[in-house]
Amino acid sequence: MSSDFTAGERPESDLTARARVRDAALTQFAEHGFKGATMRGIAEAAGVSLGLVQHHFGSKDALREACDAFVVEAFRHRLTRSAADGTLGEPGFMADLYETSGPLLRYLARALVDDSPAAATVFDQLAAGAEAFLSETWPDRFPAGSTAAREAAAVMAAMHSGTVVLHGHLARRFEFDPLDRANTTRIGKAMLDLYAAMGEFATSSTAERIRESANAYDDPNGEPR
């Protein structure tokens, strides 16, 4: 509640010990995974004793739940705000997120592949936001509540999350320091270029052939429903 983890620089010392432990846990979980992170490692990173970590959170599972709740709340804030001004569908949204709250996103990336319930919640919110964006922008193609909108939004959420979860590999290919700011906008621009090109591909005859072969796979008899 009272951590400025999401806002750029943090004093690191004026935080309550409990908040410092939670922040350290977020980083350790993100870096080594839930199993890989240790209570003692978290305590050391937070500059407190092992006993204090237990005193405030009880168990390792409870600590994870606290981290999950914190991340869910932080992203809910962020997502509702971006959904309000309609920037959620923009390709730069994810890159921007990574800039302002790196540790949070790295934790979320881990949680997404460990499929913790918190990650599912955030992903669902992301997909819901994407669905709203698609339905508002193209009401004809993605009617609100349609499965077309729902499925396209899910894919959009997965693909855009991919640029976050795989941010390390992306950075290696871009040849810049993954922690360096002012470089994440290049990812957003590359996404726009890619979308522009692949948009043509998706409406080409080649793509149409792919769609048909996919239909044939879904329905081998080729009969109309």
Partner DNA sequence: TTGTGAACAATACAATTGTATTGTCGTTGG
Partner DNA sequence: CCAACGACAATACAATTGTATTGTTCACAA
- Closest CB 166 distance from DNA, rounded Å: 26
Q: Which of 2, 14, 35, 179 binds a copy of itself (CB under 8 A)?
A: 35
Q: Which residues bind DNA (CB under 7 A)?
A: 16-18, 37-41, 48-52, 54-56, 59-61
Q: Whole-angstrom Cα distance, residue 10 to residue 45?
A: 15
Backbone Cα Rg of the chain: 21
Nearest to 157 by CA among 108, 217, 203: 108
Considering the complex, state which of residue 81 and residue 209 has its C-beta at the smaller distance from a copy of itself.
209
Q: Burial-class residue 205 by CB neighbours within 10 Å (0-12, 13-18, 19+).
A: exposed
Considering the complex, state which of residue 3 and residue 121 has its C-beta at the smaller distance from a copy of itself.
121
Q: Is 49 in the site for a copy of itself (CB under 8 A)?
A: no
Q: Which does 59 bind (CB under 5 to 8 A by kind): DNA, a copy of itself, none?
A: DNA
Q: Which does 77 bind (CB under 5 to 8 A by kind): DNA, a copy of itself, none?
A: none
Q: Which does 49 bind (CB under 5 to 8 A by kind): DNA, a copy of itself, none?
A: DNA
Instruction: Find out whether 17 and 23 touch, Cβ atoms under 8 Å.
Output: no
Instruction: Find out whether 171 and 178 touch, Cβ atoms under 8 Å.
Output: yes
